[in-house]
Structure 1
């Protein structure tokens, strides 16, 4: 389970992926993904609970296999500390492998002091990933764009007109809506409809990365796309899947294709 939503290999940024490994592979880039969950952002902050529930969901799916490995992000500062504590409580791992320097013992002891006493976890040090940890902001950006492109173009991509009146749900920031309207079309005499996603203008959606799936699948998606335009309730989208009832909007806008 690759739960690094910004720099993962099993899913595009804004998503997390899982794969069944039947043989050894050095680079996850070459592995076919079996399950993808849509999160929405490329930073964990603000998406902590969604990430935790998605990891738990993917773990439940993979439980029939003899071993599950979860790669998390490096988010530990600020709310990241509490986020990791809640993650451990939720998934209750048998072992944690820490990739870093052994001189972090003091911080790690504080970390473990916040865990429930009945939670027994083995702890191991792993070799520090110098090349990954020392990536510049530009190198991280290039890696992210490369991964976006990989997943957007892996299947036969088409440009599709999507009439939102025929789509059951739009998901944005973990909330489901039945439609989208521009604020400039909203009149003060009208009541705000909580089932409608109000956006500032049509440009809000242009070049936005999106996922496609079914609401019943609880955040698991079957395809990806990029919004070209939005006008008169119709989306023009580059998409690599044809059947879905929910569009998942991310917070990320791209200019790739």
Structure 2
């Protein structure tokens, strides 16, 4: 039984499960607007569903709930009881293959066994725990139905919404957050990955697996197409005996427009109702793709408003111009932003190495005093720049092209 909210569900007889959470006789469950949940029974059960204001329910073919994963998940957790902590489960698959649903089920299953579960959301563009451009880590204390009910405990900000061209940076971010899961004494670490698995994305997934070294990789694929699956075959060859086939959930593919609006809603979730704070870029450390620029270079000449250095010989410069791109020159070791690119840029704010929250640069003056709309009211000593601009009151997202080594290639 599939239920789309808003709706109310009451168990009249027997026991049902929703994403691994049991509901017994006379217990009720509220389904929020636009959320779709699978209601499953492992025995005869009777439920009452009241749908209203656009909500609905329907009987579905097999393959839409978590029953399809029960046996594989049981075997994974039997193995987990014998391994060192944290036991690492990496979830891979194409876009809309059920990765987030499976991650939710894994976390609820772990909690039901008394284990301390931790979820690492590694999807920069369609993540659940953090805003776009950022990956998040969450220690889960109680059962939940939707990853978007949760807010990350820790963030790693990259400022891009796709790993294309920057795969190594994403892998490094995942490894940094994995260290925090270890420090936090997690029993189970669930790594939910993005859907970039084709072409260069396949090499990216292999490199992620080889560097992360998970205890098991759950690979979501269509059962009928398993023999032709390059993802499963390639991962199995690169990481023998650790890759497990898991049947892909039957789910409707989101349109490009739906993904766009999903991102906008995530921005609003973390940015709405902010207040204006002013900062001088000269007084802040500036970060981009986790390169840290902290030393103001006052000896430079030319038409730059700002030049900051880091320990690796890189320079970050800001020019008073309307150039609509970011220059990422690995040969000259220069990152170049225009004042135009900074205006309406989505940023992250940090203090003493801890990311405190997010904001939008709403004004840049010629002296590089910036006004930032943010919920952060803590001290700030660093700002993370991005390739994302938010305009029209969060109703549009503009991605700033990143030009690498003099060749225009927009990594979105």
Task: Quote the offset at 1:30 in angstroms.
Answer: 0.8
- Which of 227, 235, 238 is the matching residue for 1:105? 227
Residues 52-108 of structure 1: per-residue CA shift (max 9 Å, x gap): 111112122113211111110010123211111110011111222223312133313
Q: Kindly indicate whether the alpha-carbon contact (under 8 Å) linking 1:97 and 1:126 is maintained by their aligned counterparts in 2.
A: no
What is the CA deviation profile of residues 206-237 of structure 1, one whole-angstrom value per residue up to 9, with x for unaligned ones?
A: 111000114x63xx522100001111221111
- Distance between the aligned counterparts of 1:148 and 1:66, measured in 2? 31
Per the alignment, residue 317 of structure 2 pairs with 197
User: Structure 2 regions of 5+ residues with no counterpart?
Assistant: 1-119, 323-338, 395-412
Counterparts of 1:1-257 in structure 2, within 5 Å, are: 1-63=120-182, 64-102=185-223, 103-106=225-228, 107-112=230-235, 114-115=237-238, 120-128=241-249, 130-131=251-252, 134-153=253-272, 157-167=274-284, 169-178=285-294, 186-187=302-303, 194-199=314-319, 200-201=321-322, 202-214=339-351, 217=353, 221-231=355-365, 232-241=367-376, 242-255=378-391, 256=393
Residue 172 of structure 1 deviates from its aligned partner by 2.0
Q: Distance in 2 between matches of 1:192 and 1:39?
A: 19
In structure 1, what is the Cα distance between the partners aligned to 2:296 and 2:161? 23
Q: Distance in 2 between matches of 1:237 and 1:126?
A: 45
SS in 2 for 1:130: coil
TM-score (normalizing by structure 1): 0.84
- Asked if the contact 1:85–1:114 (Cα under 8 Å) also holds between the matched residues in 2, the reply is no
SS at match of 2:260: helix
Closer/same/farther in 2, CA of residues 192 and 180 from structure 1, 3 Å limit = closer
CA contact (8 A) 2:202 2:231 kept: no
Distance 1:129 1:55 in 2: 28
Bigger Rg, which one: 2
Given the two structures, how large is their TM-score scaled by the length of structure 2?
A: 0.54
Higher helix fraction: Structure 1 or Structure 2? 1
> Whose strand proportion is higher, 1 or 2?
2
Length, aligned pairs only: 242
Structure 1 unaligned regions, length at least 5: none
CA–CA distance in structure 2, aligned partners of residues 129 and 252 of structure 1: 32
